[in-house]
Structure 1
C-alpha cells in the first residue's frame, strides 16, 4: 500500500512540477511588455538587448520567484492548519491569520512613512508577530478543555476575528493620508506589491527553515489529524506538537502575505487538490502541495495581468473568484 502511494506521488509530483514550469514560463513572457518565449533562453544567456534584459531580470523573474515562494508558503501553512485543527476548511486567509499580519504590516507602513523596500527583511518579522497574536486569540476562543480545538468553532471565531481586523483596516484607511490609502487598498485586494529581488530573499529563509521542519513532522501531523484520544494513546504530547506546528504555519503565512497582500484560499485549495490526487497521508501530499500552491498563485497573477489590457486585476481577486466557490463546495461537502 505504501509503495503504491509512493508511485502515485512520483507520477503526480512529476506532472505538477512540469505544469509549474510551464506556468512560470508563461508568467515571465506575458504582460504589458511581452517577452517572446523563444527569446527567454538567449536572454538568460546574456544575448538580449537592454529592454529585454530589464523586463526579464528586473521585472518578471523577481515577481515570479516571489509568487512561487509565497504560493508554497501559503499552501503549506494551510495544510498544517488543517492537520493541527482537524478542520478541512482551515486556511490562513479564512480564519483571520492573514488579516492579523496585514494590520501589523499596515501599522508598520504608516510608521515608516511608506519606505517599505528598505525594510524588506523586517516585514516578515512584523507580519509574524501580529499574525501570531491573532492565531493565539483564535486558538484560545476555539479550544475546550478535554475536547481540544472545536473545528466548527475555529472557523466561526476565525471569520469573526477576520471581520474585526478588516474593520481595523478600514479605520486605518479613514485616518491615513491619501498617499497611504492606495497601499492599504492594494494589500486588502491581494495586489502583489513586493516584486523586487530583496523581497524574494526576505521570503527565502522562512521557507528554508519551515519546509524541512514540517516535512520532518509529517508523521506527527498524521497522528494529530486523528481523534484527540487516539493521539494521546499513541503517546503524543499534543499541546507541544500543536503549538510548534501552529507557530511555523503562522510564520509561513505571515511571511507570504507580507509581500503579496491579503491573499486567501491558496492554503485551502492546494492541500485539498493534493489529497485528492495522492491520498491523505502527509508524507505523500505535502510535496505536491508546494507546487500546487506555487502554480495557483503564479497562474492567478498572470491571468490578472493579461485578462484586461488596460488594467491589472489583483491576484487576490482572481484567487478569490476561484476559491470562494470551492470553499462553499467544501462547506456543503462537510456539512
Structure 2
C-alpha cells in the first residue's frame, strides 16, 4: 500500500511538471525568428490574430512544440521501461543502440524506397520500429546468458558497441546518396526536430495513446521485474514473456519518437532518474512524473537551442547531450 503523504507528493509534482510544461510552451510560442508578442498569443489562439501571427503560431510553432513534447514523453517512458526490465540505471534507447537501429532503417527507407509524401509520414514510425526491434533483439540475445539470465552491464556495453557500429553503417549508406538527402540524414543524426507539421503529430500520437496506459497497467509487473528474477518467479510472473512484451513497448515508444525528431539520446536516462529521486522507485508513482519531465526536458532543450543562433539554431539532440553526457559519465562512475 502506498502511503498517503507519498501520493500527495506525487500529485504535487505532477502539477508542478504540468506548470513547467505550460510555462515553457508559452515562452516557446512567443519567442523565435518570427516572434509573436505575448499579449497577442491568446487573441491569435482564439482566431483573432493577423495572417502572419496565425501562420507563425499554427503552422510553425505549435506543431513543433507538440511534436517535441510528445517525443520527449515517449523517450522518457521508453528509458524507464528499459531501466526496469534490465535492472540497469544506465539503460537508455539512445545509449544502447535502439535509436541507431531506427535511424539506419529510416535512412535506408528514405534513400532507397521513395513513396508518396502523404503516406511517408505515417510509415516512418513503422519503419523505425522495424529497425529498432531487430537491433533490440540482437542486443538482448547477445547480452542474455542461460545460466545468469540478462546481464545488465553486458547489455549496456553491447548496446554502445551496436550504436557505434550502426553509426558506421549509416555513413556507408549515405556516402553515395544525393546531397539533399545526405543533409536530411545529417540533421536527423544531430537530433534536429524535423517533423514540424500537423501530420507528424497524428503519426506519433496513436502510439503514445495506446502504450502509455498499457505501461501504467503493467507497472506492478515492472516493479516485480526490478526486484529480480527469483522474486518475480516466486509470485508467479512469467519473466521472459513480460520482458519481451515490455521490451517491444519500449522499442515502439523510442522508434515512434525518433522517427519524427531525429537521434536524441539521454532523455530516457535523465527523466526516470530525476523522477525516482523525487518519489522513489515504484513505477506507479514515478512513471507519470518521468513522462512529463521527459516532455519538458526535450521541449526546453529545443526552445533554447532554436533561439541561441538565428535562424536555424542548435539541434535539440545536441542541447540535450550537453547535459546528458556528463550525467551519464557521473552515473557510470557512481555505479
TM-score normalised by the chain length of structure 2: 0.97
CA distance in 2, matches of 1:28, 1:51: 13
Could you report, residue by residue, the CA deviation over 1:96-141 in whole angstroms, capped at 9, with x for unpaired residues? 0000000001111012448656411110000001100000000000
Structure 2 counterpart of 1:225: 226
Structure 2 counterpart of 1:57: 58
Could you report, residue by residue, the CA deviation over 1:202-228 in whole angstroms, capped at 9, with x for unpaired residues? 000000110010000000010000121
Further displaced range: 310-319 or 68-77: 310-319
Q: CA deviation at 1:36?
A: 1.2
Structure 1 counterpart of 2:150: 149
Structure 2 counterpart of 1:299: 300
Could you report, residue by residue, the CA deviation over 1:81-106 in whole angstroms, capped at 9, with x for unpaired residues? 00010000000000000000000011
CA distance in 2, matches of 1:4, 1:280: 16
In structure 1, the residue corresponding to 2:160 is in which secondary structure? helix
Matches within 5 A, 1:242-281: 242-281=243-282
Asked whether the 8 Å contact 1:73–1:290 carries over to 2, the reply is: yes
Structure 1 counterpart of 2:41: 40
TM-score normalised by the chain length of structure 1: 0.97
Q: CA deviation at 1:2?
A: 2.2
Asked whether the 8 Å contact 1:147–1:228 carries over to 2, the reply is: no
Structure 1 counterpart of 2:317: 316
Q: CA deviation at 1:149?
A: 1.0
CA distance in 2, matches of 1:35, 1:179: 31
Q: CA deviation at 1:310?
A: 4.8
Structure 1 counterpart of 2:16: 15
CA distance in 2, matches of 1:40, 1:295: 20
How large is the RMSD of aligned CA atoms in angstroms?
Answer: 1.2
2:323 matched to 1:327? Answer: no
Structure 1 counterpart of 2:203: 202
Structure 1: stretches of 5+ with no match in the other structure: none
Structure 2 counterpart of 1:109: 110
Structure 1 counterpart of 2:217: 216
Matches within 5 A, 1:96-135: 96-113=97-114, 118-135=119-136
CA distance in 2, matches of 1:101, 1:151: 22
Number of aligned residue pairs: 334
Change in 2 beyond 3 A, CA 1:312/1:257: same
Change in 2 beyond 3 A, CA 1:130/1:116: farther
Structure 2 counterpart of 1:241: 242
Structure 2: stretches of 5+ with no match in the other structure: none
Asked whether the 8 Å contact 1:114–1:180 carries over to 2, the reply is: no
